[in-house]
Amino acid sequence: MRQLRTVIRSMLTSEGSIVAMDDATILWKPKIGRSKRARIEAPASVLLGLVGPSGRVDRIVAGDQYGGVSIINLFDMQVEDRYLVGNSKVRSLCVSSMSGESILVGCDDGSVHIIGENVPNRVVGLFELDGPASALRVVGQDLHIQQGWERKVVSWKGEKEALLA
């Protein structure tokens, strides 16, 4: 009997599509070539594409429902690295530099972390919010955080920044 899977996240690129299933499978469907798949530790809760030197998405970052973040190479669909930021679902991901060396992670419990190979101990907790971060974005030296209908502009320590008009 064939197991039915449900798509829970998807992402389109110029080269094809990435689909995350409820059984923790990530499926890469290129426009040209055969589909490939990888398996992560838990079902994905958020996806982020990383643009490589060629100008195309060559890796994806998958945050999962149990606080893990996996980096997957699209060429061979191998999990290159995995980070554990806590026990709370990952709600948002953002590249913190143009080179993609470090990634900001916002969790359901309000914690915000930075992860990467060049980050001390690979994971650093930056600060706690009073609720989940639905979206993260780096603008200059500030972090713009969306929490429901509210947007916060904070420093890298979580302190509110004064907005200049």
Q: Which of 157, 114, 105 is nearest to 133 (CA)?
A: 105
Summarised one tens digit per residue, pLDDT across range 106-165 is: 999 999 999 998 888 999 999 999 889 999 999 888 899 998 888 889 888 888 865 543
Q: How many CB atoms lie within 10 A of CB 122?
A: 14
Q: Which fold has domain 1-84?
A: Thrombin, subunit H (2.40.10)
Which is it for strands 44-51 and 57-64: parallel, antiparallel or unpaired?
antiparallel
Domain ranges of the chain: 1-84, 85-165
Summarised one tens digit per residue, pLDDT across range 53-85 is: 888 999 999 999 999 999 999 999 999 999 999
- What is the reported pTM? 0.88
The CATH-assigned architecture of domain 85-165 is Beta Barrel (2.40)
